Structure 1
Amino acid sequence: MILVNATRHSVVANARRTYTTATTKPKRRIGSVRGGILGFLVGVGAALAISDSFHFHDEYVKSTRQLAASVDELRSSTEKVREYADTVERLDRDFSQVRAQAVSAKDLEQLKRDIYKLHDTMSHDHVELKARVWKMEHRS
């Protein structure tokens, strides 16, 4: 009998465990309002991310074009500066040649003295020549 009671008790216990009607709370689903808000936020975030990526791409393209334009402008400015530098070098060479060939103030003073001497000599010779001619005309 003890066995029967023990067996009976375990069967009843097993039956209770199998067929229990204990109330467990089911998982609560996210409500339609919460789901709508969550979906809206996810959609807005995705849309903003996509639009920002397009905006950043457009800004990148604009800045790249501006950079290319700046590089071209810098290149043309560099060419102009190079041309100016060549002109300055050429003028410096020409100035050096002119300076080497130029007459100094000392040389100019010497030339002035020489011209005065020549003029005096010519005037003196002219006066002597006139005197000879006058003598020749009056002797005869």
Structure 2
Amino acid sequence: MIATRSYSTPATPRRIGSFRGGLVGFLLGVVATGAGSYYYLLDQYRIANNVVVADVVALQNSISNLEKHIKLLEDKK
């Protein structure tokens, strides 16, 4: 007579190798950090651009006022 097993062994879970898991984690970290850095730098660029535009507008106003003042001085002569 053939002996039958009346118990079962648990299936071993399939694991990702430590090298592949570490590589996937590293790549996810690099992508997340890169995306965060990109948006931070883009925001800083926008802020700097707005400051430069404001300075150019202020310079234009200053030059316009200077031209008006010079014109008034020339008209008084």
Q: TM-score, normalised on structure 2?
A: 0.75
Counterpart check, 1:80 vs 2:58: yes
CA offset at residue 41 of structure 1?
Answer: 1.2
Structure 2 segments unaligned to the other structure (5+ residues): 1-14
CA offset at residue 39 of structure 1?
Answer: 1.4
Alpha-carbon distance in 2 for matches of 1:96, 1:52: 65
Alignment partner of 2:17: what SS?
helix
**Aligned positions of 1:40-59 closer than 5 A:** 40-59=18-37
Give me the identity figure in percent. Answer: 8
* Higher helix content, 1 or 2: 1
CA offset at residue 78 of structure 1?
Answer: 1.0
CA offset at residue 92 of structure 1?
Answer: 1.0
CA offset at residue 74 of structure 1?
Answer: 1.1
Structure 1 segments unaligned to the other structure (5+ residues): 1-35, 101-140
Match of 2:41 among 39, 43, 63: 63
Counterpart check, 1:39 vs 2:26: no
Count of equivalent residues: 63
Q: In angstroms, what is the RMSD of aligned CA positions?
A: 1.6
CA offset at residue 79 of structure 1?
Answer: 1.0
Q: TM-score, normalised on structure 1?
A: 0.42
CA offset at residue 60 of structure 1?
Answer: 0.2
CA offset at residue 72 of structure 1?
Answer: 1.0
Match of residue 74 from structure 2:
96
